Amino acid sequence: MSSLAAVQERISAAEIRAGRTEGSTHLLAISKLQPLDRILRVLDHGHREFGENRVQEAQQKWPELQERYPEIDVHLVGPLQTNKVRSAMQLFAAIHSVDRIKLLTRIDTVAQELGHCPRLFIQVNTGEEPQKSGVIPDELDTLVNQARRLNLPLEGLMCIPPSHEAPALHFGLLTNLAKRHGLRGLSMGMSGDFETAIHLGATYIRVGSAVFGVRPR
């Protein structure tokens, strides 16, 4: 059985245990730094939802594959610089790393030029770690309000828990924040903790190494 099939089985089992509808969790296969043959294998198994953490790396990889497999959706899960917003919006179906007003302003400008906008997730720094991107929970209100004022397609929230803490605490916090703001999208859970994330309501899990194997350095 492929790693993809094994992950899909674990997702279904976790959904059933949590009393959720089977298939209600989207699996983003995080393909950053993975060799092309591994990506093709996952595509040939019929998987179509992928995630990348760098705009430039994704640009070099996905437009060509999208010509062969037109239904591919690629999501940006890594940090976004203002000067890359246009290329990001042309490539990605969703951006999971919105974390400042300036980015929303730029996204709004480009959305008006392009006539479309990817679905957006606000990244929340739930552990309030200084080195990590994301808004701190206290500043989330401002960002949500601004996204709504600009009429942008805000789908939900995203977090990456601190590596040394129980992820469930952070997933629970993110779930509560999303509820409070009436947002239904929750992007949380990676290879080591996606079952916990599903239990706490994830709509998108971002799984790299469990699907593709360990990333080559």
Ligand X SMILES: *Cc1c(COP(=O)(O)O)cnc(C)c1O
Tokens 């004022």 correspond to what residue? Answer: 149
Q: Between residues 144 and 210, which has the closer beta carbon with respect to ligand X?
A: 210
Binning the chain into helix, strand and coil, the percentages to the nearest 5 are 45, 15, 35
Q: Which residue is nearest to ligand X (CB)?
A: 208
Q: Between residues 30 and 104, which has the closer beta carbon with respect to ligand X?
A: 30
Structure tokens of 195?
């079952």
Distance (Å, whole) CA 36 – CA 200: 33
Q: Between residues 108 and 129, which has the closer beta carbon with respect to ligand X?
A: 129
Residue from 29, 77, 140, 197 in contact with ligand X (CB under 6 A) = 77
Of 213, 206, 185, nearest in space to 11 by CA: 206
Residue from 31, 53, 126, 203 in contact with ligand X (CB under 6 A) = 53
Distance of closest approach, residue 151 Cβ to ligand X, in angstroms: 27
Distance of closest approach, residue 23 Cβ to ligand X, in angstroms: 20
Distance (Å, whole) CA 195 – CA 25: 10
How many residues bind ligand X (CB under 6 A)? The answer is 13
Q: For residue 86, give the amino acid letter.
A: R
Distance (Å, whole) CA 174 – CA 202: 10
Residue from 78, 134, 167, 201 in contact with ligand X (CB under 6 A) = 78
Distance of closest approach, residue 35 Cβ to ligand X, in angstroms: 14
H or E element in which residue 27 lies: strand 26-30
Distance of closest approach, residue 79 Cβ to ligand X, in angstroms: 9
Q: Between residues 107 and 160, which has the closer beta carbon with respect to ligand X?
A: 160
Q: For residue 195, give the amino acid letter.
A: E
Contact between 30 and ligand X per CB under 6 A: yes
Binders of ligand X in range 157-216 (CB under 6 A) = 160, 190-191, 206-210
Q: For residue 165, give the amino acid letter.
A: E
Q: Between residues 88 and 116, which has the closer beta carbon with respect to ligand X?
A: 88
Residue from 32, 54, 84, 132 in contact with ligand X (CB under 6 A) = 32
Angstrom distances, CA of residue 171 to CA of 88, 186, 199, 203, 213: 27, 9, 9, 12, 25
- Residues of this chain that interact with ligand X (CB under 6 A) are 30, 32, 53, 77-78, 160, 190-191, 206-210
